[in-house]
Each structure stands twice: as C-alpha cells, then as structure tokens.
Chains A and B, each alone.
Chain A
Amino acid sequence: MATKLLVYEDNELLRESLSGLISLNSRLQLLGAFSDVLSVKEEVLRYRPDLVIMDIEMPQMSGIEAVRKIRSFQAALPVLMLTVFDDNVHVFEAIRAGASGYLLKKHIASRLFDALDELMAGGAPMSPSIARMVISSMHKQGHGADYGLTSREKEILTELSRGNSYKLIAAQLGISLDTVRTHIKNIYEKLHVHSQTEAVSKAIQEKLV
C-alpha cells in the first residue's frame, strides 16, 4: 500500500516541485500540500497521513510549533523536517519538539525517497552539527541533565560530532550499521521526551499546572 503524505512548505515553487516529485513515485500518495501550518491539527485528523513533510521556517507559525502541536495528539506519526542548513539551532529545536528526522533542501532532488524510506523504517539522520548541539546542550544544563542517554549513545554522539560517518562508527565500535541507526533513533526519542518533561516541570515551577 502506498505511503500517504501531507506536505507543508510556504515556498510555492518548492511546494509544487516537491508535489511533482512525490507524484512520480507510485509507492507514495500525496494527500495534500499546504502553504501554512495554522490548521495542521484539523488537516492531520481529516487526512490521516502516514507521514508528514514539513518546512522548518514558515511565516506565522513555524514548523517547530507545528510538530509540537502534532505530538500533542499523535505520538507516533513520522514528521520529516525540511531545512536549508543543518547547523542552526532550529533543527535541534525541531528534534526536541518531536520531529522524526530532517532533510537538507539541497538534497531533496537526490535523497528524498531514501530519506522517506529510512524514516518509515524507523531510522533517523544526525549530522555532526546536530550531534554537537546535543552535547553542548547537555553541558549547558549541568550535571544530571543528560536526557537520560546511555554511555554508548553518548559515545556515538561524540563520534558523530567529530564528523565520522555511521559506517565508520559501526566499524570502530564493532556493531552493525542498523544498531547505530537504532541508537540514533533512541537519542531522538529521549531528546523529545526530555524536552516534554522539562516543559511540564517548568510549568509546575511557574505554577501553570
């Protein structure tokens, strides 16, 4: 059965070519492409997609906010973020908000389908810059705030931040490529869960709950 998609992208040209690209692939079915995320909840509930492709930077409401909204009622729906750069803090924020993966816009033409397959198979990408942001945010938050990462996960993050590829890391640590991917997927989830509890405890501290 074809994977059903929703697309959110404010740039009209890119949205159209993205739709064209998706419609070429018979394993994908595009349910809708929107220029903003203002009614993302209603749309996700109405169309029931298997996967959402979402631009990070959009006017009015950002993709990060939209992911947070989706996560409030759909814990498992995979969301792939689109971004121009992977070394800004938005990608990291999107992951903390619950994004399942991201794709650089310059790679859409060459890697979109691979990225979608990888995402549906439960994998997630992580560039050196993102790895570095995770590590430095752990340092910033001080001791005890390590998002509950295991020492193996931290080891992988460190290697990633040095620019080593998944393949190299697998070889170095004597584990399979899939195991590396699983670890990274788990890091994603821990970042998300931690940022949620962080928000809740903050709310409690500020007497919002």
Chain B
Amino acid sequence: MLLLLVVLPVGGARAQSATADSLRQVVALHPRDTFGIKALVKLAAEVARNDPPRAKAYAIQGLRLAEALQTPVGRSGCYSLLTTHYSNAGMPDSALFYLDHLRLLAESMPTDRDSQINYYFTAGLFYKNRGEYDKALPYMLKALDQLEADKHRLARAGQLLNIGNTYNNLGNMRLAADYHLKALKEFEAQNNTRGQSFCLQSLGSDFLKLQQYKSSLYYFKQSLKLKQALNDERGLITTRIGMGNAYRQLREFEKAQQHLQQALQEARALNQTQDELKALYDLGLLQLDLQQRDKAKAIFLDGLPLARQRGDSLLSNKFSAQLAALQQDSIRELQLEKALTSSVTMARQAGDLESEADAYLKLAEWHAGKNQHEQAFGLLSRHYQLKDSMAGLQVLLQFKQLEEEYAQEKQAKEIMLLKKDQELTQAIIARQAARQKIISLVLAGLILLGFVLFKHYQTLTRTKRAMAIERVRNSIARDLHDDIGSALSSIHINSRLALQDPSRTQAHLQRIGESAAGMLESMSDIVWSINPENDTLEKMLVRMKEFAADILEPKNISYSFQLCEELGRIKLAVETRKNLYLIFKESINNAAKYSEGSSVVITIKLLNNCLHLCVRDNGKGFDFAAVRPGNGLLNMAERAHALRGQFQRQSAPGQGTEIVAALPLT
C-alpha cells in the first residue's frame, strides 16, 4: 500500500473526517487481521496532517498488529508514517530508527515495488526535512522513477512537486519552476485543488527567491485562498510565512509582522517545529530590519536550541550565523568603549589636560547614548573638573602664546617681502587666465554647436540606414520568395506528375533534383550576400574564383582573372554585391553549358566610379538576331538595370561571346 498520501491527502477536510469514520469502523470490525492493519495505515495517513499524535498512535497500533500476525503487510506504510512523524516532531534519531527499518524491509522484498517507493520517498522527505537537500534529491528522483504514469498519477504529481521544492531549496530556480509547473498541470488535470494549492505555494516561494515579490505575493494569495477553502491548517502556516517574507521584502513591515506572528502561533498550536523555526527566523530578520537588535537577538536565541534539537543543520547554522553577526556588533561596541577609555589614560599620561577633558566628554556621550546615565554623569563631572583646573594654567599658557606670536611676527615680515614679488607675477598670470577663459568659452560653444549638428546628422543617417536595411530586407524576402518559392512549387508539381504519369517518372525526378540543387545554391548565395563580413570586393573575388573553378575545371575549360590593383579595398552595397555575383554566375554557367569553347577570360576593372565586369569566351558564338534570348540573358540585363547600370552582349558565329556589365558604385 502506498503512503504518499502522508504529504498529499486527497479531498477536503469534511470528506476526510467521513473517510476517517468509516475507516475506524473497519478497524473495529477487523481487530485481528490484515484488513485491520491496512485500515489503520490508511487512517493514520488520513489524520497525519491535522492530528499528528493520533496518526502516530494509529501507526504504532498497526505495526503491533502486523507483528502479532507475523505479516509484512502494512509494515512499510507504518514505518514510513512513523519516520515522517518523528522527523516532523523534531526527533531525528527516532525517525532514523524507523527509516532504517523501512530500508531493510525494502531490501528484503526487492520485487515489491510499493515498499521500494515507500522507502525512496520517505528517505527523500526525511533528508529534505533535515535540510540536507542534495542528499534528499537522489532518493526523490528514484521514487519518481519507480512511480508508474497511469497507476500512480496523483503520487507522481506530488513527487514532481516535492522535487521542485528541493530544487528551490538548492537554489536552482530554473528546475524548481520547471517541476512546479509540471506538477501544477498534473493537479489541474486531475482537478485536485489541494495539490494546486501546494504548487501555487511553491511558485510563490520560487518567485520570492527570484526577488519578484509582487508576483510571489500573487501566488501566495492564490494558495492561501485554496488552503482556506480546504481548511488546511498546516498549509496555511507555510503560506503565511511566505507572505510575511514577501511583505518584509516590500518593506510593508506591519503586514509582515502580522502574518509571521500568526504563523508562529499556529505552528506552536499544531506542534509544527519546522514551521515554528522558520517563522521565528523570519521574525528575527524582521526585527533586524526594524533596527530592534535586542529583540532580534532574543528571537534568534529562542530558535537556536529548538533547531539543534530538531537536527536541522541548515536552520541551526542560520540561527547561529545571525547570533554571531549580532555578537560581532556588540564586540565592536566594546572595542569602541575600550578605545575611548584608553584615550583618557593616554591623555592623562601625556599630561595633556585639555585632551583628557575632551576624552572624558566623548566617553560620557558614548555612555549617554547607551542609556547608561549614571556613568555618563560621573564622566561629565570629571570633564568639568578638569576644565576648571585648567583655568589656573591659562595664565602661563598666555605667556607662552605671546612668545610664539612675537616669533611669528618676525617671520611674517620676511614673508611680506616675498609676497610682493609673488603678487606681480600673479597679476600677469591672472591676465593670462582671463584670456584662457574666453578662449575656452568660445571652444565650448563650438563643441556644443558641433554636437548639435552631429546629433542632427546622426538622426539623418540613422533614418537613411533604417530605410536601407528595410530595402535590403524587402529584396531578400523577394529573392527568397522568387527563387525558393518557385523551386519548391516546381518540386511539388513534378512530384505530383511523377506519381500520376509513371511513363515519365525519370524526367520528373530529374527536374525535382535540379530544382532542389538550384534551391541549395540560391540559399547559400543569399546567406552569403547578407553576411556583412563579405562586403568587400576582395571576399567577393575569392567566391567568384571558387565558383569558376567549380564549374569550369570539370569541363576542362581554362580561365583567368584579370583584375586591376585598386579593387581590393572597394566596399560593395548588399544589392550591388548580390547582382554582380549573380550576373557573373550566369555568364560562367552560359560559357560552360553553351559556348563549347576552351577558355574564358574574366576582367574586372574600375572606370569612372563604375565597376566593369567582362566575361569573354572563345567558343562557337551566337547570332543574337536569330537566337531568342533565354531567361539567363534577360535576367542579367535586368539585374544591371536594377542598379542603374548597363549591360551589353556581343557575339557572332565562330567568334565567341562577350558580356559586359557596368555597375555604378554609389
């Protein structure tokens, strides 16, 4: 029998008590058989959340019965219940005792899936409650692994939630939220409001850790509503703690105090040490926020022994850390007092009455600040005594002062002479400074003007650039649609034809292959041409050479590039680059396919700010008057014209073919 219900009782409180009643009847009817054990385990699970001592009593009763009947039935459930009970009640040694029994039982029945699940699940929960989250996680994942998707749907949802909570504790918010959302979905699918209330609670805590306090509050409030409707007293405690925290972070201290205090009282009433500790800790932090250090200290001192007794290493460390920090502050104050006292002693030893008096005054002020008025008064009296006694000394001091003043006067006269000299130079410097001031004012004005003009220019170019980008984007979209769109529809059509017209399948497939190859080629051309790294003519020439080698070398057509020097540094606009390259490709393809020649010469040069591309072959030539120009030639001309350039072709039978494209650079 599965006991995941310990953490996830199904249904509301009213339904619960009805179930509990009928279970009690079953127990009464079967005092000495396995039905009775099973009913006791179920009963314990039912009341575990709202009445822990009774749940413990049922579990022990069940265990005794199982021992008396010498049956393994129900033992796993009882051990699990007792482990969790003692763990929640802050008695880790007893919990470990039962967990060990649970492990032995699971090991003795390796084929019994339920007892394996019970063990992994309970162990995971136990370590999680102790704050040893990384130790808990493997057990929890193993339990999830053992749960079957259809048979244990609810339990799976619950375990998803538990794992999410553990990830939350481990600080891995991504996985935490991931598991929580999965769990929430599962619970929603099963219409399980209790599960939903837990998931909402957990999401609230995820957001809390992500410092999204308003969203966190939102989830907590949702959870609170569901839990109130379900009368889930324990659950309400945790939600209140969460809300208290969120309000504390939002610096709404009154609301924070209210929620935390309520949580603390309820936790004590239900004997929930873990929640009590959490509420205490957060209340302590709240007092620190409110600058109430003594109150905070008292609260942390309250919590520390409780946490230690419970064996929660993480929480007890946190309490001690806070206390240590408070301690350190008081040590710092002690040191301050010591320093002040020693300054009194030192002044006295040095015989400096005035400093001694001052030191007394400071020490008195410090004690007054600590509300130690008696000490302060004593010290203040010492201060005034010293001041009075010093009056007698005053006369002697005056003599000394006169002496010193005389010496100083003598020095002053000498200094006067020097000063006159200095004044003269200073006057000159002042005049220079005035001139510099005017110059820098003018400069600043110029810079300001420049800046304004620059800003204006910047917006202008930015608009221009945005428009250019828009244009390029449109053209890319058009190209993609033209090339790829038509290739895809041709493939589509040809595949239809191939299916319907078996006699010409080969031809259709051939066409499909060609379309696909063409599409691959245009894709890579488009991608290449929009990559800004390729916008120099130099990169373009490399790609042209590569293409020429690819097409012409297999046909044994020799080729050469004739380039003028200054080409390398030219930058090309995306449009120019693309069209130049496509014209070049078309012409090379034509030479390879139709010319039947043995060599091609490619010339590229710069003339009147126009880029000239000339491709000439030594093939058989055409009579353009007789041959209808194909798509390729028309395309080339169109591309040149789109850039406001020119395109010419020359050919005659037996004299080869030459195309020339002239493209303006700006």
Contact = CB atoms under 8 A, between A and B. Distances in A.
Nearest to A171: B558
A162 B540 CA distance: 10
A201 interface: no
B350 interface: no
A19 interface: no
Interface in B497-542: 513, 516-517, 520-521, 523-524, 527-528, 531, 541-542
A11 interface: no
Interface in A96-113: 104-106, 109-110
Interface residues of B, number: 18
A164 interface: yes
Interface residues of A, number: 16
Nearest to A165: B549
A140 to B, nearest CB: 16
Given A85-B527, A106-B524, A163 B513 contact: no
A167 interface: yes
Contacts of A110: 517
Given A85-B527, A168-B549, A161 B542 contact: yes
A196 interface: no
B42 to A, nearest CB: 44
B542 A106 contact: no
B552 to A, nearest CB: 9
Given A85-B524, A85-B527, A106-B524, A163 B517 contact: no
B544 interface: yes
Interface string B541-558: 111111001000100000
A127 B546 contact: yes
Nearest to A104: B524
Given A165-B549, A165-B553, A167-B549, A106 B520 contact: yes
Nearest to A166: B549
Contact of A163 (B516, B523, B545, B553): B545
Nearest to A128: B542
A168 to B, nearest CB: 7
A142 B523 CA distance: 37
B490 to A, nearest CB: 17
B116 to A, nearest CB: 28
B553 to A, nearest CB: 6
A109 B517 CA distance: 9
B549 A162 contact: no
A163 B524 contact: no
A163 B543 CA distance: 6
B521 A128 contact: no
Contacts of A163: 541-546, 549
A68 to B, nearest CB: 27
A106 B553 contact: no
Contact of A164 (B513, B516, B521, B545): B545
B115 to A, nearest CB: 33
A87 B520 CA distance: 16
Contact of B553 (A87, A127, A167): A167
B517 A128 contact: no
Nearest to B538: A162
A162 B524 contact: no
B559 to A, nearest CB: 9
Nearest to A131: B542
Contacts of A165: 545-546, 549, 553
A162 B542 contact: yes
A163 B568 CA distance: 14
Max chain B Cβ within 10 angstroms of own Cβ: one of A87, A104, A163, A165: A163
A87 B532 CA distance: 13
B480 to A, nearest CB: 16
Contacts of A164: 545, 549
A117 to B, nearest CB: 16
Contact of B513 (A109, A128, A167, A168): A109
Contacts of A109: 513, 516-517
Contacts of A85: 524, 527
Interface string A188-203: 0000000000000000
A16 to B, nearest CB: 16
A90 B521 CA distance: 21
A82 to B, nearest CB: 13
Interface string B206-243: 00000000000000000000000000000000000000
Given A109-B513, A167-B553, A162 B545 contact: yes
A137 B553 CA distance: 30
Interface string B125-140: 0000000000000000
Contacts of B516: 109
B475 to A, nearest CB: 21
A98 to B, nearest CB: 26
A106 B523 CA distance: 10
B184 to A, nearest CB: 27
B377 to A, nearest CB: 64
A106 B524 CA distance: 9
Interface string B420-443: 000000000000000000000000
A106 B531 CA distance: 19
A168 B553 CA distance: 10
A89 to B, nearest CB: 12
Max chain A Cβ within 10 angstroms of own Cβ: one of B523, B531, B542: B542
Contacts of A162: 541-542, 545
A146 to B, nearest CB: 22
A168 B550 CA distance: 12
Given A87-B531, A164-B545, A168-B549, 19 more contacts: A85-B527, A105-B520, A106-B517, A106-B520, A106-B521, A106-B524, A109-B516, A109-B517, A128-B546, A161-B542, A162-B541, A162-B542, A163-B549, A164-B549, A165-B545, A165-B546, A165-B549, A165-B553, A167-B549
Which 8 residue pairs are nearest across A and B when measured between Cβ atoms?
A163-B545, A165-B549, A163-B542, A106-B520, A128-B542, A163-B546, A167-B553, A128-B546
21 contacts: A87-B528, A87-B531, A104-B524, A106-B517, A106-B520, A106-B523, A109-B516, A109-B517, A127-B546, A128-B546, A162-B542, A162-B545, A163-B541, A163-B543, A163-B545, A163-B546, A164-B545, A164-B549, A165-B546, A167-B549, A167-B553
Interface of A: 85, 87, 104-106, 109-110, 127-128, 161-165, 167-168
